Structure 1
Amino acid sequence: MKVSDVITTKNVVTVATAAGAVYLVAKTVMAGIKSPPYNPEPLPLARLAVEHQTPNMPVRDSGELRGLLLSLNPRLDVFAKKMILHGITRCVYLLDTEAIACTYEDITLVASFLDDQDMGIKSQALNALKAFSGIRKFKISIQELVPQILEIITNLWDNDVHIAGLRLLNGLQLPAETHPLLKKLMPSLMEILQLGSPVAQVQVLRFLSMLAQKEDLLYDIMNCQVCAEFMNFFQPSQPGNLLVAMLVLVERLSEGHLTPHYQSVNWQYNELSLHEVLFGEDSRLSDRLLSLIIHPEEKVQIQSLKVIYKLQLSEGMEITAVSETDSSLSSFVFGSIGNTTVAESRLSEC
């Protein structure tokens, strides 16, 4: 066989292509070795879905969400129910077109699993309803479930149920007719705050901060009994997001109880009420706030300064610790408040 028979045009192209591929692979590997470690930030599910869509291509209905809803049946075993409800949640977030095409009967079907005896199924149903609540046309029908959700959260002691239920409630408008029930259940919500997991605590703080803006619920929050160690929530060692959520609640309570409407009533508080612990004569709140203005997390610093500022401006209320410190600290505190325009905008992202 002649050499010319072996070295044909086709063979040369094949060898060159293979060599090129090897070179590219080797180059990629070397680049990976030399480059710094890749630490990607987590992508929201919705953004992840958008980034994987082909440009200018219509989104086709995969039928996955409809199939999951059709397969959801109370006669299934516990594991199957959990997996299907989890799949429904995922699809609602990722498949906008299919989620919008769902019906109110689908919402009713998912909500029916709130009555299941298994806690895991309850929490998965709550997660699925949270996903559906992001679709405008389902908001009202899901809001009608608020009394049932409140009863579930306060009657059952399960961390996942607390977190899922409170996350759902924090994204809903609470109808005025639910306020009497909220007054009744306020001590149970305060119990979750004091004894729940850190994640549940953050969620219940956000919920209470929303309720504190309702005039007819403010006293019921203020008069809730709290434990003697409640001020430990203001320790700098607490997680930053928990501190911020707690400070936002204090700010809302301070604003609310200083309104003319609230001040016009001579409210009577229990000895260990939230009001007495935070705003009473023997409160140690001022000391704790001053310790938080040097917290390593900027959001905690800003929110603590905001609370100090609100309390300092309040008629008849002083922060004793501020007045006892030297002028340089006072100048730092209130000078910082005067220059927090940018920080205020960042805080709104909390």
Structure 2
Amino acid sequence: MGKQQVQQYLKQLDIRKSVVGLATGATAVYLLYKAVRAGMKCQPPLSTASPTCIARLAIERERQGRDSGELRRLLNSLERKQDEYAKSMILHSITRCVYLLEAEASACTTEDIMLVGCMLDDKDNSVKTQALNTLKAFSGFRKFKLKIQEHSIKVLELLSTIWDSELHLAGLRLLNSLSLPDFAHPQLRRVMPALIEILQSDYILAQVQALRLLSSLAQKNDLLYDILNCQVHSNFLNLFQATQPGSLLFEALVFAERLSEGRNTPHYRAVQWHYNERSLHEALFGDGSRLADRLLALVIHPEEEVQIQACKVIVSLQCPQGSAVQLSSSGKTSHSIFNSGK
């Protein structure tokens, strides 16, 4: 065997050893991945400890089969008087623990949820934001959902009274993880303009979450008119430009489809609705709307899910009677080859 062959053989041995090492350490790698993912789910304060220390606790728990006690220690420390920065750091660590130490999180109580919920009344916006992230983490457990829903009115109030992009993102993510109860509908009507304003902000992550929430609310008969009559900026249709990120475009198209389907239902059409001239309805479905042009451009978008969703909106813009239509460049509909979506 030549020198080069020997070196190649040794290299292959090293590679095999590395593969075996990776396989045997799969549990640790997975938990470290969860740690990083948990850290991405909530924005940390400026100088929090690395999430890998909590991942080590999770690994130890897997090995020893007993609680680390870390989550309970953090919750107990939250009960003591802390300054705003300390509370923010503690809440951030609690959030990571909930994602990583699932058994310990499941053992928590509704009193713990109430404790975190109290932080929504803190005067510091970063504490509010971290509390929203923590509630979002706990919402992954069915046993806590009803208790967390009780805070939905407060969350809506925060979204409508505080202009903070990170708080908006955290609040919207929380609301999207819940089934909003009917008792929240009056508050939703009051905050609808704020939700539409967040939708028109320049923070893409919050815009996507706002669209998901609004798409869900658009399916509620008693909220549809409130959404459609909200005032929007003159450049609202920029949301449907091909240059927008695909994730934002897709959610905007889903929203448009839900609104179009809702306004064409017999229940909705039975009432003669009147819309503000600057309303969302006029921007999307009015005689002067340029939505048709945007949709036709998106049919050839590079991302397939955007193409498909654009076609779905086009189909939904047919006449309510189900006759085939075509979108003209002026945004109006006319009879043509679109054969009832088939």
Query: Is 1:100–2:106 an aligned residue pair?
Result: yes
Tell me, yes or no, if the aligned pair for 1:46 and 1:94 is still in contact at 8 Å.
Answer: no
- Residue 93 of structure 1 aligns to a residue whose secondary structure is helix
1:121 and 1:322 map into 2 onto residues whose CA distance is: 49
Tell me, yes or no, if the aligned pair for 1:240 and 1:300 is still in contact at 8 Å.
Answer: yes
Tell me, yes or no, if the aligned pair for 2:87 and 2:127 is still in contact at 8 Å.
Answer: yes
Tell me, yes or no, if the aligned pair for 1:73 and 1:81 is still in contact at 8 Å.
Answer: no
Task: For 2:285, give the aligned amino acid.
Answer: F
CA 1:303/1:91 → structure 2, altered by over 3 Å: closer, same or farther? same
Q: Which residue of 2 aligns with 1:203?
A: 209
TM-score, normalised by the number of residues in structure 1: 0.77
Q: Which residue of 1 aligns with 2:75?
A: 69
Query: Is 1:150–2:159 an aligned residue pair?
Result: no
1:215 and 1:90 map into 2 onto residues whose CA distance is: 38
Task: For 1:92, give the aligned amino acid.
Answer: V
Q: Deviations over 1:86-107 (max 9, x none)?
A: 1110111111110111011111
Q: Deviations over 1:301-321 (max 9, x none)?
A: 111111112223643794433
User: 1:44 deviation in Å?
Assistant: 5.0
Q: Deviations over 1:179-209 (max 9, x none)?
A: 1111111111111111251111111111100
1:43 and 1:292 map into 2 onto residues whose CA distance is: 36
Q: Which residue of 1 aligns with 2:127?
A: 121
1:134 and 1:27 map into 2 onto residues whose CA distance is: 42
2:245 and 2:160 map into 1 onto residues whose CA distance is: 24
1:46 and 1:26 map into 2 onto residues whose CA distance is: 31
From 328, 333, 336, give the equivalent of 1:321.
328
Q: Which residue of 1 aligns with 2:231?
A: 225
* 1:305-316 equivalence runs, <5 A: 305-312=311-318, 314-315=320-321
* 1:51-200 equivalence runs, <5 A: 59-73=65-79, 75-200=81-206
1:314 and 1:65 map into 2 onto residues whose CA distance is: 55
User: 1:73 deviation in Å?
Assistant: 3.7
User: 1:220 deviation in Å?
Assistant: 0.2
2:59 and 2:176 map into 1 onto residues whose CA distance is: 31
Q: Which residue of 2 aligns with 1:289?
A: 295
User: 1:121 deviation in Å?
Assistant: 0.9
CA 1:56/1:118 → structure 2, altered by over 3 Å: closer, same or farther? closer
2:315 and 2:156 map into 1 onto residues whose CA distance is: 34
- Residue 302 of structure 2 aligns to a residue whose secondary structure is coil
Q: Which residue of 1 aligns with 2:22?
A: none
2:231 and 2:182 map into 1 onto residues whose CA distance is: 24
Q: Which residue of 2 aligns with 1:235?
A: 241
User: 1:115 deviation in Å?
Assistant: 1.0
Gaps of 5+ in 1: 1-22, 33-39, 325-329, 339-350
CA 1:44/1:256 → structure 2, altered by over 3 Å: closer, same or farther? farther
CA 1:225/1:106 → structure 2, altered by over 3 Å: closer, same or farther? same
* 1:226-265 equivalence runs, <5 A: 226-265=232-271
CA 1:111/1:317 → structure 2, altered by over 3 Å: closer, same or farther? farther
- Say how many residue pairs are matched: 300
Q: Which residue of 1 aligns with 2:218?
A: 212
Aligned-residue identity in percent: 55
Query: Is 1:302–2:308 an aligned residue pair?
Result: yes
Tell me, yes or no, if the aligned pair for 2:290 and 2:330 is still in contact at 8 Å.
Answer: no
User: 1:278 deviation in Å?
Assistant: 0.6
Tell me, yes or no, if the aligned pair for 1:65 and 1:98 is still in contact at 8 Å.
Answer: yes
- Residue 223 of structure 2 aligns to a residue whose secondary structure is helix
User: 1:77 deviation in Å?
Assistant: 2.2
Q: Deviations over 1:254-277 (max 9, x none)?
A: 111111100000000111111111
Q: Which residue of 1 aligns with 2:52?
A: none
Q: Deviations over 1:145-175 (max 9, x none)?
A: 1000000111000011000000000011111
Q: Which residue of 1 aligns with 2:23?
A: none
CA 1:249/1:264 → structure 2, altered by over 3 Å: closer, same or farther? same
TM-score, normalised by the number of residues in structure 2: 0.79
Q: Which has the larger radius of gyration?
A: 1
